[in-house]
Amino acid sequence: MPNELIHPDLMRHLSRSHSGSRVAIANAAITYDPSNEPTTTYVIDPLMIDIPALIEPVIGIGGRGQEVRRPDQTIVQNPYNVLLYGFYPRITVDDQLIDDKSRTFDIITVAHDDFETQTILVCERVNPTPTNES
């Protein structure tokens, strides 16, 4: 009979809370292509790099994200909760987050705790990585 004095979910939570990531924030910049059409690019903010964070996927039913049902379509989302250890009021939903594994996330929502010690983000993973220009 296995020893189950400590629940596996508690151990998983403790291991995640003590082994975080480092992230950077990239700001949206509007540029124009050769045909004069606006395009959005992202540039890493030099004041918003090396931020300690905890990134966890939001697990839905069956471990496959969340379904959003609309009258004309069903969308499957795979959001991530991101806890930034610090108060970062400059972050907006127009920005992107890049982690230390070179994964890029669109920021969906931004919130702060009442004591202004943490910034809480809900993000959606995307593929392109921004340039390091300033």
Is the sign of the CA dihedral 25, 28, 29, 35 positive or negative? positive
In sequence order, the 6+-apart residues with CB closer than 8 A to the CB of 84 are 23, 51, 52, 53, 91, 118, 119, 120, 121
Mean pLDDT by 10 residues, the chain (134 residues): 63 60 95 92 94 85 64 78 94 95 93 92 76 52
pLDDT number for residue 28: 94
pLDDT number for residue 91: 97
pLDDT number for residue 60: 61
Cα 99 to its chain centre, rounded Å, is 8
What fold, for 21-126? Thrombin, subunit H (2.40.10)
Interval 31-58: pLDDT, tens: 999 999 999 999 999 999 999 999 988 8
Is the sign of the CA dihedral 113, 22, 96, 91 positive or negative? positive
pLDDT number for residue 134: 47
pLDDT number for residue 9: 66
